Structure 1
Amino acid sequence: MSEFAVGDELPTVSFRLTRETLVRYAGASGDFNPIHYSDHQAGRLGLPGVIAHGMLTMALSLRAVTDWAGDPAKVTGCFTRFTRPVPVPDDDAGAELTVAGKVSKIDSGVATVQLDVRCGEEKVLGMATAEVLIEERS
């Protein structure tokens, strides 16, 4: 990762989310909110069914950035708005989260990456950005 330019694109990455993924994330994070495992409870709150954890969605988005950057320590900041839930059906297919990104700005050795995070055709994170330390250009 030595030369970057505004407009550089990250490789598009897809992640498969199943109910098993949500159970594993709940165990790791301690977030056992029933909207992440119970269709009944999710429906009571007006949700379309079980939804993925917002922080899981954000973490997978940042994984696309850290894989591109080559070192997680180079990611110095991130920002997002959770705009739509990610419904995860109770089947073998689950849901597919797709993450794309583009360098929108470079300033003082930091690249700002605009992320486009979708479940199907729906954008699920809004204003999603990450800041990545890069080497200064000569």
Structure 2
Amino acid sequence: MSRIAYADVEVGTELPGQVFPVDRATLVHYAGASLDFNPIHWNERFAVEVGLPNVIAHGMFTMAEAIRVVTDWVGDPGAVLEYGVRFTRPVPVPDVPAGEVAAEIEVSAKVAARLDDEQRTVRVDLTALSGGQKVLGQARAVVRLG
């Protein structure tokens, strides 16, 4: 059950934004969990040869990090009824010394619409940036509140 009461949420309510660091080790862990071992996510030479700026984060990883802003706010991942994005730009993850941040995904979100008073649902629009560039477009979630 959502910890956020529907009655307390207005259109324009801003969710607490978050910044998610990404490094090559994170990509290796995600590859193992998702079974997506495409070399564009770990082999810099291959990634550059196919026209990418560097190794890039998995699109689904970027999408998952972004929705964390919503699930942390609502307090229940099961309250997210729908979620969709368009991938607009990759997140390059350069090779940096251990302990340094290779890339960051900055996510902000706000309530864009109250959808159904009976079902207590709202639409949350998300903005995800990396390196000052928008990496997800039309990022929207439908959330049931308490």
TM-score under structure 2 length normalisation:
0.90
Alpha-carbon distance in 2 for matches of 1:37, 1:105: 39
Percent identity between the two aligned chains? 50
Shift of 1:44: 1.3
Choose the corresponding residue for 1:9, options 14, 23, 27. Answer: 14
Q: Does 1:93 align with 2:101?
A: yes
RMSD across aligned positions (CA): 0.7
Measured after TM superposition, the shift of residue 63 of structure 1 is 1.1
Runs of 4+ displaced beyond 3 Å: none
Q: Deviations over 1:81-124 (max 9, x none)?
A: 00000000100321010000010001112110010100021000
Letter in 1 for 2:101: A
How far apart are the structure 1 equivalents of 2:66 and 2:136? Answer: 9
Q: TM-score, normalised by structure 1?
A: 0.96
Q: Distance in 2 between matches of 1:41 and 1:106?
A: 45
In structure 2, distance between residues paired with 1:7 and 1:52: 30
Gaps of 5+ in 1: none
Q: Which residue of 1 aligns with 2:38?
A: 33
Aligned residue in 2 for 1:126: 137
Cα distance in 2 for partners of 1:26, 1:114 equals 27
Structure 2 residues without counterparts, runs of 5 or longer: none
State the alpha-carbon separation in 1 of the partners of residues 46 and 121 from structure 2: 43
Distance in 2, Cα, partners of 1:6 & 1:60: 23
